[in-house]
Amino acid sequence: MKMFRKHVGSISRISTQLQRGPPTVGSIAGLSTEAEAAPKQERVDEKITEFRTAITNPGGHSPLQIAKFYTIPAEEKKRIFGGGGLPKQYELQIKTFTEACLMVRSPALELLQYIKQADLSKPVVRYVLYGENGVGKSLTMAHVLHYGALHDFLLVHVPWAPNWMKRPKETANATGQEGFIDLPFDAAAWLVHFKTQNAQLLQKLQLKTSKDYVWSKRESTPTGSLLTELVEHGIARIKYASETIAAVISELKQLSTAGQCKVMVAIDGFNAFFHPETRIFSDNKQRVTPDRITLTQPFLNITNYDWTNGVCILSVDKIAMTEGYMESYMPRYLLGKDGFEHLDPFVPVHVDNYTDKEFTNYISYYVDRFWITKTAPDLEDQLKFMSNKNPYTLMQLVRGL
Amino acid sequence: MSANLTRWLERSLHNCHATQSRTALRLFSGQQQQQQQQQQEVEEDEEFRVLNLRAVKKQVAARREIKRDPVPPPRSNRMAVDQDWTAAWPGPRSFHPASVPLPLRQGYTERGAAAPSKFANAELMKIPNFLHLTPPAIRQQCEAIKQFCTPWPKGLETEEKCKHHFPVEVVTTDFCHSLPTIRNPEARRVTVSLKLSELKFDAHAKDKFLRLVGERYNQETDVLTIVADRCPMRKQNYDYALYLLTACYHESFITEPWEETKSEADMEVYHFERNKAKLSAEAILNWNEAAGETKVAPSQGYAKSVEQLINEGENEYNIAKYKKEVLKMLNIPVAN
Amino acid sequence: MLKRALIYGKFRTNGIYGSFENGTRWSRLMSMYPPHYAEPIFKKDSQNMEKYELAKLSHVPIKAALNSSSDTIFNAELKQKMLAYIVKCGNSRLARELLTKTFEQIKRAQIERKHLVKQDNGHAICIDAEKLLIQAIENSRPLLQLSSIKRGGVKYQVPVPLTSKKSYFYAMKWILDAAKEKDRKISLSSKLAWEILDAAHGQGRVIKKKNDLHRLCENNRAYAHYRWS
């Protein structure tokens, strides 16, 4: 990929020179776009009002803005989604379109409404996003996450939980618990992600730890030290990163129950925690179950109902499972018996394919961003038919157009 | 060799006769006659016998004229209109055109042409006929066997009533068997079937009974089928099947001490009351309540929706209902 | 013969892959259809355009449309041809994926450029990958070819005009060969995108190859008469 970027860079350099130099034979300079350039620009400007909304704060979104795009400011995007959270393809799209736009869709609005009207003194409500492959569960979550980041929620965000079960960077035997597997690098990466997402808020709130944490003979975190110090320690001492996560999360639970902060938990691919097995092998060459991974416990702990002043947004996904466990996208099937019992009672939120209006707006957005340059009278109908209005399929179809 | 011998013997015999006759003739004829005789004899002796390869055509005897009686007109012509048909056609028999006074036609012809008539019609002969089973014939036979019958029991007029009074159905099969022994081994098999709704159970007994009978019970049709074939005689098998049914039924009402240890994994259906769902729902509803206060129980609708979701399997309808109940229980205002 | 070459030259501007309906397509020798069968018109807009000709066709038997001929926005004749050349071992699914990725990368590169030069004239940059592909192929089509002919015991490299069909073949083959000449770690799609962009702008190895061939033909034009004498 890096190679390619280099290539592309060189191409663009060559061609910019070309543009400045005398027009060569067979140059594509005058390929039809020139003639209709001026009227097209006007038309694009008109359309902006149709499918875009100027409200960049998700808190201000209402059903009026449904099927419209709002832009996430670059620095906010970098802060919230710097460590993941947006699908890879979407990141690429953002890079190409030079703006991070999200469509306001009804599942996200529904969630936002629940969160706004929630009684935070009650135990946390778990919201479970479910839906077919590629309908926009992760992006719905991203929308809500953006809301949380802007409204003083401490974000406990796992961009894609199955990564820990499927392709961990490094595994080690846990020191504290016998028979458990530690993922020190992934744990540290998550701590970094947590820190970047919540740096400002942690600075403001000055949260303190409630008990002593003794890591080894020489290292310990005393009572009353800042939560950031705890996190910093975990990042610096990768060996204790997993334990630090457990500590941070239990602290967060206590602090939020005490009313010192609000916490928003967002875990994408939550059902990976209840998958029958992982791809990690233990010392005796046997596959480890997810509950034997030290990272699982804190996140199961924080999705429990025994704390207040927070919300849990979880998504269950077919892709989080492996072959043989992907028959249905329904939450009970994906979570399994244990997962269901763990979450019950939860609020299932169904994410569906585009509606007609959303589809039309998305096509106009693509046209606006020059991603679709073809003009056929029945282009939209054809795409609608081919993609079944599924967002991901549409993306795949349109890329080669 | 033998052929030559016989020939020689024949000839010598012939000569012997000739000498005899010669002696007799010598009295009347002279020398000349004798010579002539001798010459003739030589000629006779020298005759060349023709080998007849082809059979010589004999006089062909004139073939005897077979005398046939003229074909009488079909019998059906003479039948009276009000004849007793059961007498004319008493038993099963292949079709005979002259005996059936019906203008039958059968068979394929070209378009427009009439179908072949009943005479010399193989089509009609091939197919089975039921001319001996006309309603009067049946009526007649029924009348004849009526004296051996008892009246149909009262109260069993319809199929449902029969099923109600005799819920157990026993099926056995008799076989025609062409062996020195007439007993077919398959004839011993006895199949007893019964609708399970006919038996009276309580919840525990039903569960236990189903576990006891295992795959003999068909859940879709609610029919229990017991097949017995382990004993050599039908009677024994029948007794065994009924014994099995009775034993299982009574056994299912006995609660053994170890049955109390039945865990959640052994449950056949999901019960809200027994599961963690109830505990967590109660814990959420009674959050921050003092210990002494009365506990709020989760609503019946929620319990039902959870049970439905798990017992019936997931679908959009069930999960939407579950969502509605959860929102109601957690007191979250519904969107729109 | 010169005339023929000229005619070919004329033909080239139309392009043999132009359309099914104007009948310029080569007919196969072993066709399952008798020659009087008409070609199917599967494109909807051309059906509308030729209403008066449709009346003529009403009593003419028409060939069945090919499986690949469908009137969608994803279907273009030159693109299909290119796809057929990319296919290896019948794995056309992979080929389609590769070409799709190629188009995606072309589009990404062009859009990036468009944003770079937005101030002065961003509209001049074409983003349509399909148009760029066609442009690249048209740019890299050779006019002449060298063919070795033996005269008086000596082999001469004689410049020979190419048929339109063959020139298209060479153009696509060269582009693809240039794309295949790459490091193992680079995917074909990215290299192909690069080559297509280069050729569409009249640069790159393919164009150079074409020019080299033309120059050789020019040098050997003294032997041109050996073609027919």
Q: Do C131 and A4 touch (CB under 8 A)?
A: no
| Portion of chain A with pLDDT greater than 70, in percent | 88
How far apart are the C-alpha atoms of A165 and A184, rounded to whole Å? 13
The predicted structure's pLDDT at residue C151 = 87
Q: Do A306 and B336 touch (CB under 8 A)?
A: no
The predicted structure's pLDDT at residue C29 = 66
Distance from CA of C99 to the nearest CA of A (A): 8
Among residues A108, A132, A148, the one where a domain terminates is A108
Nearest C-alpha neighbor of A84 from the set A2, A177, A179, A186: A186
The predicted structure's pLDDT at residue B13 = 55
Shared-domain flag, residues A104 and A115: no
How far apart are the C-alpha atoms of A41 and B288, rounded to whole Å? 61
| Over residues B93-117, mean pLDDT | 91
Query: Which residue in the set A118, A123, A341 is minimally distant from B287, CB to CB?
Result: A123
Q: Write down the residue that tokens 């942690």 correspond to.
A: A202
φ, ψ of residue A102 in degrees (nearest 5)? -125, 145
Domain membership of residue A10 (yes or no) is no
The predicted structure's pLDDT at residue C170 = 96
Give C152's pLDDT tier (boundaries 50, 70, 90). Answer: confident
Among residues A108, A137, A157, the one where a domain terminates is A108
Beta strands A181-182; A172-173: pairing state:
antiparallel
pLDDT reading at A19 higher than 50: no
Distance from CA of A71 to the nearest CA of C (A): 18
Tens digits of per-residue pLDDT, C69-125?
A: 888 888 888 999 999 999 999 999 999 999 999 999 999 999 988 888 866 665 678
| Over residues B160-169, mean pLDDT | 92
Whether A166 contacts A181, CB under 8 Å = no
Q: Write down the residue that tokens 């249905």 correspond to.
A: A328
Angle at A365 between CA A364 and CA A371, to 5 degrees: 100
Q: How far is C-alpha C114 from the geometric centre of its chain's CA atoms? A: 27
Higher pLDDT, C43 or C130: C130
Give B228's pLDDT tier (boundaries 50, 70, 90). Answer: very high
B326 contact residues in A (CB cutoff 8 A)? 345-347
Give the range among A27-31, A171-175, B43-47, B174-178 with minimum mean pLDDT. Answer: A27-31
Tens digits of per-residue pLDDT, A46-97?
A: 445 678 888 889 999 999 889 999 999 999 999 999 888 899 999 999 999 9
Query: Which residue in the set B283, B302, B332 is minimally distant from A305, CB to CB?
Result: B283
Higher pLDDT, A37 or A135: A135
Q: Do C111 and A371 touch (CB under 8 A)?
A: yes
Q: Do B314 and A117 touch (CB under 8 A)?
A: no
Give the range among A129-133, B61-65, C132-136 with minimum mean pLDDT. Answer: B61-65
Domain membership of residue C67 (yes or no) is no
The predicted structure's pLDDT at residue B6 = 57
pLDDT reading at B27 higher than 60: no
Q: Do the two chains A and C touch, given a threshold of 8 Å on CB pairs and at least 3 pairs?
A: yes
How far apart are the C-alpha atoms of C196 and C134, rounded to whole Å? 9
Shared-domain flag, residues A66 and A115: no
The predicted structure's pLDDT at residue C120 = 62
- Looking at the structure of chain C, the number of domains it has is 1
Tens digits of per-residue pLDDT, C211-222?
A: 999 999 999 989
Shared-domain flag, residues A239 and A262: yes
Give the range among A24-38, A87-101, A266-280, C178-192 with minimum mean pLDDT. Answer: A24-38
* β-strand partners of A128: A314, A348
A4 contact residues in C (CB cutoff 8 A)? 105, 186-187, 190
pLDDT reading at A204 higher than 70: yes
- Looking at the structure of chain A, the number of domains it has is 3
Q: Write down the residue that tokens 């839906």 correspond to.
A: A131
C39 C-beta neighbours (distance < 10 Å), count: 18
How far apart are the C-alpha atoms of C195 and C102, rounded to whole Å? 10
Q: Is B96 buried (19+), middle (13-18) or exposed (0-12) by CB count in 10 A?
A: middle
Give the range among A34-48, A360-374, B100-114 with minimum mean pLDDT. Answer: A34-48
B278 contact residues in A (CB cutoff 8 A)? none
The predicted structure's pLDDT at residue C123 = 67
E strands within A34-98?
Answer: 69-72
Nearest C-alpha neighbor of B335 from the set A343, A141, A350, A390: A350
Tens digits of per-residue pLDDT, A304-359?
A: 998 999 999 999 999 999 888 999 999 999 999 899 999 988 999 999 999 999 99
Across chain B, what does the average pLDDT equal?
84
Q: Do A344 and B280 touch (CB under 8 A)?
A: yes
The predicted structure's pLDDT at residue B161 = 93
Domain membership of residue A202 (yes or no) is yes
Nearest C-alpha neighbor of A35 from the set C124, C192, B221, B46: C124
Domain membership of residue A1 (yes or no) is no
Domains of chain B: 85-149 (no CATH), 159-258 (3.30.160.20), 265-330 (no CATH)
The verdict on A98 touching C (C-beta cutoff 8 Å) is yes
Whether A264 contacts A154, CB under 8 Å = yes
The verdict on A284 touching C (C-beta cutoff 8 Å) is no
Domain membership of residue C20 (yes or no) is no
The encoded tokens of residue B326 equal 């959860």
Across chain C, what does the average pLDDT equal?
83
Across chain A, what does the average pLDDT equal?
85
pLDDT reading at A27 higher than 50: no
| Over residues A29-38, mean pLDDT | 39
Shared-domain flag, residues A276 and A152: yes
Shared-domain flag, residues A30 and A130: no
pLDDT reading at C147 higher than 70: yes
A397 contact residues in C (CB cutoff 8 A)? 74
pLDDT reading at A380 higher than 60: yes
Q: Do the two chains C and B touch, given a threshold of 8 Å on CB pairs and at least 3 pairs?
A: no
The predicted structure's pLDDT at residue B292 = 63
Q: Do A12 and C101 touch (CB under 8 A)?
A: no
Beta strands A262-267; A310-315: pairing state:
parallel
How far apart are the C-alpha atoms of B196 and A368, rounded to whole Å? 68
| Portion of chain A with pLDDT greater than 90, in percent | 58
The predicted structure's pLDDT at residue C138 = 95
Shared-domain flag, residues A207 and A253: yes
Q: How far is C-alpha C226 from the geometric centre of its chain's CA atoms? A: 29
pLDDT reading at B31 higher than 60: no
The encoded tokens of residue A20 equal 């400045």
| Over residues A182-211, mean pLDDT | 91
Shared-domain flag, residues A99 and A142: no
Q: Which range marks the domain in which residue C139 is found?
A: 77-227
Q: How many CB pairs under 8 A join A and B?
A: 68
Domain membership of residue A92 (yes or no) is yes
Shared-domain flag, residues A137 and A200: yes
Amino acid identity for residue C60 in this structure: V
Instruction: Using CB atoms, list chains with 3+ pairs below 8 Å to chain A.
Output: B, C
Nearest C-alpha neighbor of A230 from the set A218, A205, A212: A212
Shared-domain flag, residues A258 and A156: yes
Residues in CB range of A132: below 8 A, 6 or more apart: A318, A329, A353, A390
Domain membership of residue C34 (yes or no) is no
Nearest C-alpha neighbor of A14 from the set C130, C206, C183, C109: C109
Domain membership of residue C165 (yes or no) is yes
Instruction: Using CB atoms, list chains with 3+ pairs below 8 Å to chain B.
Output: A
Sign of CA dihedral C100, C105, C106, C107: positive
How far apart are the C-alpha atoms of A309 and A259, rounded to whole Å? 7
Q: How far is C-alpha B101 from the geometric centre of its chain's CA atoms? A: 34
Residues in CB range of B27: below 8 A, 6 or more apart: none
DSSP for A173-238, please give it: E-SSSTT-EE-HHHHHHHHHHHHHHHHHHHHHH--B-SS-EE-SSS-EE-TT-BHHHHHHHHHH-G
User: For residue C121, what is the domain's CATH number?
Assistant: 1.10.455.10
Q: Write down the residue that tokens 């057929």 correspond to.
A: C84
Domain membership of residue A19 (yes or no) is no
The predicted structure's pLDDT at residue A339 = 92
Tens digits of per-residue pLDDT, B61-76?
A: 888 899 999 988 999 9
The predicted structure's pLDDT at residue B25 = 42
Q: Do C131 and A31 touch (CB under 8 A)?
A: yes
pLDDT reading at C183 higher than 70: yes
Chain A residue whose CA is closest to B298: A345
Amino acid identity for residue A222 in this structure: P
Query: Which residue in the set A3, A37, A97 is minimally distant from C123, CB to CB?
Result: A37
Interface of A with B (CB under 8 A): 63, 109-110, 113-114, 117-119, 121-123, 125, 305-306, 308, 328, 330-333, 340-341, 344-350
How far apart are the C-alpha atoms of B79 and B100, rounded to whole Å? 9
Shared-domain flag, residues A331 and A378: no
pLDDT reading at A119 higher than 50: yes
pLDDT reading at A32 higher than 70: no
Tens digits of per-residue pLDDT, C31-68?
A: 788 888 888 888 887 777 666 777 788 888 999 998 88
The predicted structure's pLDDT at residue B137 = 94
A90 contact residues in C (CB cutoff 8 A)? none
Among residues A108, A136, A162, the one where a domain terminates is A108
Nearest C-alpha neighbor of C103 from the set C72, C82, C88: C82
The predicted structure's pLDDT at residue A5 = 45
Report helix angle C129-139 to C77-86, nearest 10. 70
Chain A residue whose CA is closest to C132: A28
Domain membership of residue A12 (yes or no) is no
Domain membership of residue A204 (yes or no) is yes
Report helix angle C92-116 to C129-139, nearest 10. 100
pLDDT reading at C13 higher than 50: no
Give C166's pLDDT tier (boundaries 50, 70, 90). Answer: very high
pLDDT reading at B18 higher than 70: no
Q: Do A114 and B326 touch (CB under 8 A)?
A: no
The predicted structure's pLDDT at residue A153 = 92
Domain membership of residue A15 (yes or no) is no
Shared-domain flag, residues A60 and A178: no
Whether A79 contacts A196, CB under 8 Å = yes
The predicted structure's pLDDT at residue B259 = 84
Domain membership of residue C56 (yes or no) is no
Q: Which range marks the domain in which residue A190 is found?
A: 109-350
Query: Which residue in the set C73, C125, C135 is minimally distant from A379, CB to CB?
Result: C73
A110 contact residues in B (CB cutoff 8 A)? 335
The verdict on A25 touching C (C-beta cutoff 8 Å) is yes
Higher pLDDT, C85 or A401: C85
Whether C141 contacts C207, CB under 8 Å = no
The verdict on B306 touching A (C-beta cutoff 8 Å) is yes
* β-strand partners of A281: A287
Shared-domain flag, residues A140 and A276: yes
